[in-house]
């Protein structure tokens, strides 16, 4: 039990100390669509996340065909992966998002705004495709995170 508590304390300390990168100022359109034009990172650890898809939520319930449930579950999976590397979802610097129905684009943007409430959105591409790896999958997100970066919105590395 003591080992578990120590491990949890160390993991919490790592996630708490994980600094985010510098997010360049966004235009009104970029704010509305919840993405940054660029994210500047210098130093830190780079984490390449494989494309995340899912047909089941965290309780194992079938969410095939449910865009919102898949999107929220994928963000949770990405957060867990980044936590394993010592960071959190806020350390996601860029993402490539594949959706199978262009009509889900606006809903995706609203969910992304919820996931990054501080307004430091990852740089992003949103691409519509005809299909994903398995029937019922409606979204896939791939990303790159930077953990422990020396740049931040307070300590800029850009030449603005």
Question: What is d(CA 106, CA 112) in angstroms, rounded to the nearest whole number?
Answer: 10
Report, as an integer, the average pLDDT of 112-131.
Answer: 96
Nearest CA to 86 out of 11, 22, 157 is that of 11
> What confidence category does residue 160 fall into, taking pLDDT thresholds of 50, 70 and 90?
low
Name the CATH topology of 2-147: 60s Ribosomal Protein L30; Chain: A; (3.30.1330)
Q: What is the pLDDT of residue 8?
A: 34
Please tell me whether the overall predicted TM-score, pTM, comes out greater than 0.85 for this model: no
Is 138 within 8 Å of 130 (Cβ atoms)? no
pLDDT one-digit tens code per residue, 44-100: 899 999 999 999 999 999 999 999 999 999 999 999 999 999 999 999 999 999 999
Report the C-alpha gap between 94 and 131 in whole angstroms. Answer: 22
- DSSP character for 102? G
Q: Tokens 């898809």 correspond to what residue?
A: 53
Domain ranges of the chain: 2-147
């Amino acid at each position: 039990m003591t080992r578990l508590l120590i491990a949890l304390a160390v993991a919490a300390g790592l996630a708490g100390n994980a600094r985010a990168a510098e997010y360049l100022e966004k235009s009104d359109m970029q704010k509305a669509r919840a993405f940054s034009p660029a994210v500047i990172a210098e130093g830190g650890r780079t984490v390449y996340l494989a494309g995340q898809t899912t047909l089941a939520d965290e309780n194992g319930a079938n969410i095939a065909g449910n865009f919102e449930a898949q999107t929220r579950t994928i963000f949770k999976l990405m957060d867990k992966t980044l936590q394993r590397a010592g960071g959190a979802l806020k350390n996601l610097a860029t993402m490539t998002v594949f959706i199978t129905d262009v009509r889900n684009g606006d809903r995706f943007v609203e969910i992304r705004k919820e996931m990054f409430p501080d307004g430091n959105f990852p740089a992003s591409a949103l691409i519509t495709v005809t299909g994903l790896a398995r029937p019922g999958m409606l979204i896939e997100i791939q990303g790159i995170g930077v953990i422990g970066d020396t740049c931040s919105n307070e300590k800029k590395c850009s030449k603005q």
